[in-house]
Structure 1
């Protein structure tokens, strides 16, 4: 029972990334615009990496294929989104409050990803590394 619950939890941690990555794949120009709007260099490259990280790493974790490595990489990506996109400490008013919530949500997701990295994908996975 606990292995089944862990597998469901592994899926729930990454469903956000898989859905978001698929949506970004359907409209990459919007991702490029968002990245460029933050003043980051090479927006087309970063937009492609964003889509690859969310969709690719999310699917690897969901399938339990190299889930430990994918979880560490996706945790790093998620932390970077806090610094570059949800930097509430440099905002004020409603924007600061909204982005603080988003940053805290991302920190919680990082915790779940690091748990997967620590214990592996569980019994119901393509590989158990």
Structure 2
């Protein structure tokens, strides 16, 4: 792995994880709105706490590169059903941008799962890129 790849892997993880960490913190700061939004899609309010946990644990895992592949899988497991439930293209065409954004996030997470977090990470010392 060359020097540019080391730093772009880190930068990519920072950008990617920020989406999930910010979302988790937003749900902590305004749980009533989050539960109301969930209820509008038929999701029970008690799932808010596990949702926050998944967003923060997965996001922080990807950010610092500790068990980043597991963190990426956790977030993919969250994104697939939430994309279908909240951004259903077939029910509401106006959801296309959010749907496509989530596909892009899933793509980035699949790359972390496939190639690892890079050498500037807690996992980096255990990865052989050759």
Asked if these proteins are the same fold (TM beyond 0.5), I'd say: yes
TM-score normalized by structure 2?
Answer: 0.87
| Matches of 1:29 and 1:7, distance apart in 2 | 34
- 2:52 is matched with 51
| Matches of 1:29 and 1:127, distance apart in 2 | 37
Any gaps of 5 or more consecutive residues in structure 1? none
Displacement over 2 Å in runs of 4+: none
Q: State the SS of the aligned residue for 1:89.
A: coil
| Matches of 2:91 and 2:30, distance apart in 1 | 29
State which of 94, 101, 107 in structure 1 corresponds to 2:103. Answer: 107
Shift of 1:105: 0.7
Shift of 1:88: 2.1
State which of 21, 25, 30 in structure 1 corresponds to 2:24. Answer: 21
Alignment of 1:57-68 (within 5 A): 57-68=58-69
Any gaps of 5 or more consecutive residues in structure 2? none
Q: State the SS of the aligned residue for 2:90.
A: helix
Aligned length: 122
Compute the RMSD of aligned alpha carbons: 1.3
| Matches of 1:47 and 1:34, distance apart in 2 | 10
TM-score normalized by structure 1?
Answer: 0.88
